[in-house]
A and B are shown apart, each in its own frame.
Chain A
Amino acid sequence: MLSGRTKFALSFLCLVLLINPSCFSGRRGKGDAIKIQGAGSTFINPLMQKWVSEYGNLYSNVRIDYQSIGSGGGIKQIKERTIQFGASDAPMSDADLKSAPGEIIHIPVILGAVVLTYNLEGVDRPLRFSPDTIADIFLGKITRWDDERLLADNPGTSLPSEPLTVVHRSDGSGTSAIFTNYLSKTSPEWKEKVGEGTSPSFPVGLGGKGNEGVTGQVKQTPNTIGYVELAYALKNKMPVAEIKNRSGNYIVPGFATVTNAAAETINETPEHLRVSITDAAGENAYPISSYVYVLIYKDQPDEVVGQTLVDFLTWGINDGQRFGESLYYSPLPQEMVKRASAKIALISHDGRSLRTQ
């Protein structure tokens, strides 16, 4: 019997909802703060937080809130229009773009790199790996450190006769996507057996949660090898492997070599800027590099918010780049800054461009 009790409960609920001030979404008056909500990539989170706070210092009326919920989550939310901008380590797929309610454009804002790190006693210079060896290690075909192929990459280094344990990401991540994208390009067997994606099914190894999980397990467990973002390996003072690129050079990952990977591929980069720069050609290009993208609707529904986003992104790819290095991100090459600016200029409201004055 749905009697007066039910009615009482319902009216109580209504009262609670009414008292909660967030239920009112009043119109913005002059001088009020402009609120912008972004979400996505965990990889760019440290830089994004730095940008948000620096930008807030410059323009006190702008309040940007960025939530690092993962690239997949960022793509999902921007498609549902619950946020004003998303961020992703990998570009959106054609299918994802097609199913979005409006045209989404990709703006590259910074560069990142995935590195191999390991825990091996008695080896003091950085180990070197060729692409085939990396694929075979992560396919489970190389199981010992003194394997001939590893010795061939590292002449003169004595490698211990110990079993090799692989550590990979267990959570879905852009890091895994970049790493498997690289392996799929260099190894046909990898492409066929595992493929590329945010949650690949690795044939061997231990799964660590997050970059910090993989870093922790590699650091704690002898004779392990894993892949993490450059920042995590450097911050934890862990060894970083040199990787042989398409030109046959062994490359140390670093700001210059990662930016090189982007610069060397700029001519082949398509107009929409959605591009993978792993396994890049070029003498000094680090082969496991990637752009991080901000995802934004080309047609902005709110003029003030749209204008603020345009200003923020323009600031980010120009002045904002200098905050990258202390957080171990690599800056965009000059040519890409120009092309990204051209993309930002496409953002419009009611057909009028919102370009920065």
Chain B
Amino acid sequence: MDNTGRQDGQPLEDASPRNSRRRFSSSDKIYRFLLTACAALIIVVVLAMIAVIGQGSWLSIKEFGFGFLFGQTWDPIKGEFGALPFIYGTVVSSVIAVVIAAPLSIGVAVFLVEQAPRSLARPIAFLVEMLAAIPSVVYGLWAIFVLAPFLRQVVFPPLQASLGWLPFFKGTPTGIGMFTGGLILAIMITPIITAVVRDILEAVPVTQREAALALGATKWETSRIVLANAASGIAGAVILGLGRAIGETMAVTMIIGNRPQISASLFDPAYTIASVIANEFTEATGDLYLSALVEMGLILFVVTFIVTALAKLLILSVGRKTQHTA
């Protein structure tokens, strides 16, 4: 496919903001100071958080060292703490969420921008944005009372009957566990990814679509060109969703089963880092116990960082490939 239309969308602009700087230097100074202060505040907050979390988890780091990362027991009564099942639960539930939510959200966004008539696109876009505003505890309640029974009664039995030989679908499906947790996360991050992807697609210049159509491309081919050009922005949207999935606490806690174990079966209960902190922090007595929980926070920081970085690399490399073939 041809890609020559890409540059045409940007109008020429010779009046950059720097050239048009005026002489009101004192008000500009205040303006610049405020902006710098805003940016600096972010850095200060992040550094302060790392400092406090690092200090709080020092006792646990000293006691367990790297063993904390690989330990599989979490027994506050006996004072044994290990983070591995929680890391596993956090990563797997978030990956399930993104695998389900990313294609779904991109599909919805493409429909809204490329296909839907205006009279339909507006209300659907509004609904999607409203979904993003629902508090997570409400998602959790809905999951307990609607989603879990539905999965247990309607979805899981045929799934187990046909694919039960796979390790992913073994065990007693109670409706509460890793799969349900991942699914509720997917539903929660769909509106965010959709809203951002929609805005990005709308920012792709109309001239590109017109050029593609003029060259005889079908609607499907036009959408592919638009998507390829918006790839890095879409990647950003997906990462935003992933970040929310990793840190989401309340809804997952209510539905994932809260059992620190590493099990291949998606029907089995699991546990996430954010959940264990929310669950146990209020009643954590004893310095080592508290410190271990704070170290979980530190690990959540690191896990978020690593997963986001990996996702960015992965999606960018895929995006580059599609741009080359497009």
Residues of A within 8 A of B (CB): 5, 8-9, 69-73, 75-76, 96, 163, 165, 170-174, 194-201, 205-209, 213, 216-217, 220-221, 224
In the bound complex, CA of A71 to CA of B283 (Å):
6
Interface SS, A side = mixed
The answer to whether A217 and B76 touch (CB under 8 A), given A70-B282, A172-B282, is no
Partner of B175, one of A171, A197, A213, A221: A221
Does A205 contact B145, Cβ atoms closer than 8 Å? no
Stretch at the interface among B13-21, B57-65, B106-114, B254-262: B254-262
In the bound complex, CA of A217 to CA of B152 (Å):
13
Does A195 contact B175, Cβ atoms closer than 8 Å? no
Does B258 contact A170, Cβ atoms closer than 8 Å? yes
Residue with the greatest number of chain A CB neighbours at <10 A, chosen from B37, B152, B285 = B285
Whole-angstrom distance from the CB of B141 to the nearest CB of chain A? 8
Which B residue's beta carbon lies closest to that of A5?
A: B33
Whole-angstrom distance from the CB of B67 to the nearest CB of chain A? 17
The answer to whether A197 and B145 touch (CB under 8 A), given A172-B279, A206-B257, A206-B258, is no
- Chain A residues with Cβ below 8 Å from B175 are 220-221
- Chain B residues with Cβ below 8 Å from A220 are 144-145, 148-149, 175
Does A172 contact B280, Cβ atoms closer than 8 Å? yes
Does B174 contact A165, Cβ atoms closer than 8 Å? yes
The answer to whether A173 and B283 touch (CB under 8 A), given A206-B257, A206-B258, A207-B258, is yes
Does A165 contact B253, Cβ atoms closer than 8 Å? no
The answer to whether A172 and B284 touch (CB under 8 A), given A195-B77, A206-B258, A220-B175, is yes
Residue with the greatest number of chain B CB neighbours at <10 A, chosen from A73, A171, A174, A213 = A171
Whole-angstrom distance from the CB of B121 to the nearest CB of chain A? 37
Does B283 contact A206, Cβ atoms closer than 8 Å? no
B222 interface contact, C-beta 8 A: no
Whole-angstrom distance from the CB of A77 to the nearest CB of chain B? 11
Does B283 contact A165, Cβ atoms closer than 8 Å? no
What are 10 contact pairs spanning A and B, CB under 8 A? Answer: A73-B283, A171-B279, A171-B280, A197-B76, A201-B77, A206-B176, A209-B254, A213-B254, A220-B148, A221-B175
The answer to whether A206 and B269 touch (CB under 8 A), given A171-B282, A172-B284, is yes
Does A70 contact B283, Cβ atoms closer than 8 Å? yes
Does A209 contact B144, Cβ atoms closer than 8 Å? no
- Give B63-84 interface residues, CB cut-off 8 Å to A: 73-78
Interface string of B253-296 (1 = CB under 8 A from A): 11001110000000001010001001111111100000000000
Whole-angstrom distance from the CB of B175 to the nearest CB of chain A? 6
In the bound complex, CA of A206 to CA of B260 (Å):
10
- Chain A residues with Cβ below 8 Å from B144 are 213, 216-217, 220
Whole-angstrom distance from the CB of B157 to the nearest CB of chain A? 13
Whole-angstrom distance from the CB of A135 to the nearest CB of chain B? 16
- Chain B residues with Cβ below 8 Å from A96 are 285
Does B174 contact A196, Cβ atoms closer than 8 Å? no
Does A216 contact B77, Cβ atoms closer than 8 Å? no
Does B145 contact A216, Cβ atoms closer than 8 Å? yes
- Give B115-168 interface residues, CB cut-off 8 Å to A: 141, 144-145, 148-149, 152
Which B residue's beta carbon lies closest to that of A221?
A: B174
Partner of A201, one of B75, B176, B177, B279: B75
Whole-angstrom distance from the CB of B274 to the nearest CB of chain A? 12
Does A196 contact B77, Cβ atoms closer than 8 Å? yes
Interface string of B163-196 (1 = CB under 8 A from A): 0000000001011110000000000000000000
- Give B232-248 interface residues, CB cut-off 8 Å to A: none
- Chain A residues with Cβ below 8 Å from B141 are 216
In the bound complex, CA of A174 to CA of B282 (Å):
11
Does B258 contact A209, Cβ atoms closer than 8 Å? yes
The answer to whether A171 and B283 touch (CB under 8 A), given A5-B33, A221-B152, is yes
Does B174 contact A199, Cβ atoms closer than 8 Å? no
Which A residue's beta carbon lies closest to that of B257?
A: A206
Does A72 contact B253, Cβ atoms closer than 8 Å? no
Which B residue's beta carbon lies closest to that of A205?
A: B259
Does B258 contact A208, Cβ atoms closer than 8 Å? yes
Partner of A221, one of B176, B281, B283, B284: B176
Partner of B76, one of A5, A201, A209: A201
Residue with the greatest number of chain A CB neighbours at <10 A, chosen from B141, B149, B258 = B258
In the bound complex, CA of A263 to CA of B181 (Å):
46
- Chain B residues with Cβ below 8 Å from A71 are 283
In the bound complex, CA of A8 to CA of B36 (Å):
13
Whole-angstrom distance from the CB of B275 to the nearest CB of chain A? 8
In the bound complex, CA of A76 to CA of B284 (Å):
9
- Chain B residues with Cβ below 8 Å from A69 are 282
Does A200 contact B77, Cβ atoms closer than 8 Å? yes
Interface string of B27-43 (1 = CB under 8 A from A): 00000010001000000
Does B283 contact A194, Cβ atoms closer than 8 Å? no
In the bound complex, CA of A18 to CA of B116 (Å):
55
Which B residue's beta carbon lies closest to that of A201?
A: B75
The answer to whether A199 and B282 touch (CB under 8 A), given A5-B33, A205-B259, is no
Whole-angstrom distance from the CB of A63 to the nearest CB of chain B? 24
Q: Which 7 A-B pairs have the closest CB atoms?
A: A172-B283, A207-B258, A170-B258, A70-B282, A72-B283, A201-B75, A171-B279
Does A195 contact B78, Cβ atoms closer than 8 Å? yes
Whole-angstrom distance from the CB of A73 to the nearest CB of chain B? 5
Whole-angstrom distance from the CB of A261 to the nearest CB of chain B? 24
- Chain A residues with Cβ below 8 Å from B258 are 170, 206-209
- Chain A residues with Cβ below 8 Å from B281 are 172
Does B259 contact A207, Cβ atoms closer than 8 Å? yes
Does B176 contact A217, Cβ atoms closer than 8 Å? yes
Does A73 contact B76, Cβ atoms closer than 8 Å? no
Which A residue's beta carbon lies closest to that of B152?
A: A221
In the bound complex, CA of A144 to CA of B40 (Å):
60
- Chain B residues with Cβ below 8 Å from A209 are 253-254, 258, 278-279
> Told that A76-B285, A196-B77, A206-B257 touch, could you supply 7 new A-B pairs with CB distance under 8 A?
A72-B284, A75-B285, A170-B258, A172-B280, A200-B77, A213-B144, A213-B254
